Amino acid sequence: MARGRADDPDHGVELLWRAGDREPRQGLSLPRIVRAAVELADDEGLAGLSMRKVADRLGFTTMSLYRHVPGRGQLVDLMLDEVLGEHPQPMETGGWRARLEAVARHAWEIRKRHPWLAEVRGSRHVPGPNAVAHYDYMLSTLAGTALRPSEVIAVVGMVGRFVDAEALVLVETRREERRSGVSEEEWWGSRDSLYERLDRYPTLSHLWTAGGWDHPEDSFDFGLRRLLDGVEVLVRKRDEIRDEKCAECGGPLEPAPSGRPRVYCSRACQQRAYRRRRNG
């Protein structure tokens, strides 16, 4: 009967948020199941995760696991929240950029330890307390800026997707190395038959000769910095708009939806200014 709840998102909320059930206990318990599942996914990727394999690791029957968690989907949600609890205490001081960069780098370190995180796809994974706390902190790094609320949410989503995209490359690389037994460097280093055909491409050849591939940029570090550079440009733009005052009442001007500069903070101020000009 417990397995019938595997597709019930409300039951997933109960599993994730019942703190008492997350406490370690003797014998088979939800915390032990989740930890074993995380270790299995670390070793074999998300494709290698199954209720049977988790049960084998713990020395129990598969059916005994279903008394604690209804199915694989909800187990993955529990695993997500477990590893997101590895985030260190967030920075409470510093500017928005330093704080957002720090939490993104922590997220990257967690994904290097648990690459399968990037394999969790879909938009209907119920978040647990660690996931919500992590998301709330990321939002808070930008809450004091002049960004619009929708822009704060969009920036945090963009940074999160960037971290996951980089982690997915890591997942694919490790999967191929595990499958073939050949490292990425060894595989590409053996492609002489390809390299001898590339001298007909001038730009590629120029960059090769100039040493562009000798010391490649760290893709995560380079990408994160350039991403935050773009956000910083937007924050400064919004700060400039926020500093502007209404020509009638002197109050702050909110950015117009169209993006065009505003002169008055409201329709009422615009009408008062018009009447004053008309009456002389």
206-219, pLDDT tens digit by residue? 998 899 888 888 99
Q: Is the pLDDT of residue 253 over 80?
A: no
The pLDDT of 252-264, averaged and rounded, is 62
Tell me the average pLDDT of the chain: 85
According to the model, what pLDDT value does residue 80 have? 93
According to the model, what pLDDT value does residue 248 have? 73
pLDDT-above-70 percentage for the chain: 87
220-238, pLDDT tens digit by residue? 999 999 999 999 999 999 8
Long-range CB pairs of 237-242 (<8 Å, 24+ gap) are 238/145, 238/146, 238/147, 238/148, 238/151, 239/145, 239/146, 241/146, 242/146
Q: Which two tokens stand for residue 186?
A: 């060894």
The pLDDT of 5-17, averaged and rounded, is 69
SS3 182: coil
Q: What are the backbone angles phi and psi of residue 112, rounded to the nearest 5°? A: -70, -35
